[in-house]
Structure 1
Amino acid sequence: MNMPVRLTTGDRIAETSSKGNQEKWLEDSRWYKLDLFGYEGLAETVTSRLLRQTNVEELGFRYVTYRMERLEVHRRTRNGCSSPNFLLPGESILTLADLFRKGIGPHWQAEVARQPNLAGKVHWMAEQTIRLTGLRRFGIYLTLLFEVDMLFGNEDRHLNNIAVLRRGEEFDYCPIFDFGAGLLSNVRDYPMDVDPQALVKQLRAQPLNTTFARQVKAARSVYGAQLQWAFSAADVVAALEEPLEFYAERDRVYIADRVRSCIHWQAGKL
């Protein structure tokens, strides 16, 4: 495949991701992110493609769409992805970490810790967000987010990756974003030479720092199951076809096997 390479200045100083290391920047109304530990761009792209075959929009919520990019940055050609800037004029993103810090105070984490169990923690986060923003369906949104993360094995859903949109004193639901830590994309933590099924068993869910199954069970016990999906194994293969072309041929069969295995095992547990 003949891929265009998007040229950027070699002197670019990129912003960093929530983990403080994956470079990203805004240009021409799109956000660009570079792969760092493996195939984050593929994980973002494949996840957003498969979300088309879910009920996220039927539930009244949105998700960010990603596409693969080949980028020349710091005088090197790198893989990455891009997504549209979904913020309207006057809008900003307010993460739950910032919302709680501003709306509850510096000791909000101690209040979370006082909750008796995981369901209590989920309920506390949802109800505090409802109180501070007026978004009455936030418990449903949060449950859906946890289910999406479980399905795709996304470990990076800390409270800086859960957010609401703010327009002055009004709030709205933020499109679901940032799937790059899913699908076993971090080959530093999840090496390519280890059986994917064994790696899936090691996954941990944020923000509750537990297994995905326990986190989702806790949310569903309060707000009910939300996510439905209609994609097949063949749809996963189709979603992988174009993004795989960006990676070394020797790695493609391993990446494809890891992605398929992750979704298969996570879907079975979900």
Structure 2
Amino acid sequence: MPGSVCDIFKEPFQKYKLEQNHDVMEACKEFIQNEESKINVDEVLGNINYGEWLDKSEELQDLTKRMLESMLKVWKSPKYKAYIKKGKSINEGSYVCELLAPLLNIVMSDLPGKPIAWDIWGEEGSSASATRKGSRKIARRADYMMVAQLGKNAELEIVYLETGRPNSSQDKRVRDHKKLIRFSKDSIDTTRNMKNLKKIFNQPSTRQNLTIFTINIAGDVIELYAMRKESGIYKYCLIEKATIPLHMTSPSAVYLLIHALMTLRMAVACTIYKILYSSDSGDSEHSSSEMVVTVSTPKNS
């Protein structure tokens, strides 16, 4: 198309274009500069223990506010209002994209200690499953995984999630529960089968901290589990359970969900940190059975 004709064609649409805005540009500059200053700055947590709040007070408040704002969008959504009032169905994709993914992306980002970890939302099979099955082509896919880098070419799948619709059937919930158990066992087994992970977990001090976490979204309930292997026995236990409020409700009800998500955040961060920085001279004198993966309510300052 000749230039002059093209310009004439575009002319009616020029009214939609905006001029550059100084405030937006300054906000971009400030954000990038602040984030660049944080890069490569190691966060030293020191001698931390399970069951401790690892984030500072202002960070906890910021995380909580962001999760509440994310849930508010769902509470205001006509789709979820119709589900609550009229029982109209919500499919799994909407449930994940509109509620679960935003919450997990908030609570599992920038973990204390700044470990290298990333999320995978159902787009690829589990490496742990592929190792057991002998092929990535037939590996099982989790709805969500978090992978932690523990060393060069040493990656551990440390969190798995399975979900369905808010009103999913009991059979679906049981199948997801069994699937998460299988994922957890496969991941623990990779620390014996994969060379790069085996080097790390040959040390008793790192092996005693090896825990895999799973999230079973059983309808409108979140269940947080953990698996460990002790004396050759795989132990799988419920840590936290909370209702997912799909409409605005009491602060105490909302708190239970946020507390469960924060428990996951602190437990995963502490586990990764202890695996990375433990030594035989440090934690080996403590029995692995002493580990309690839970979070108590912070005291008012």
TM range (shorter): under 0.3
Q: Larger Cα Rg: Structure 1 or Structure 2?
A: 2
TM-score normalised to the size of structure 1? 0.26
Question: Structure with the greater relative contact order (CA < 8 A, sep ≥ 6): 1 or 2?
Answer: 1
Determine which structure has the larger helix proportion and give its number: 2
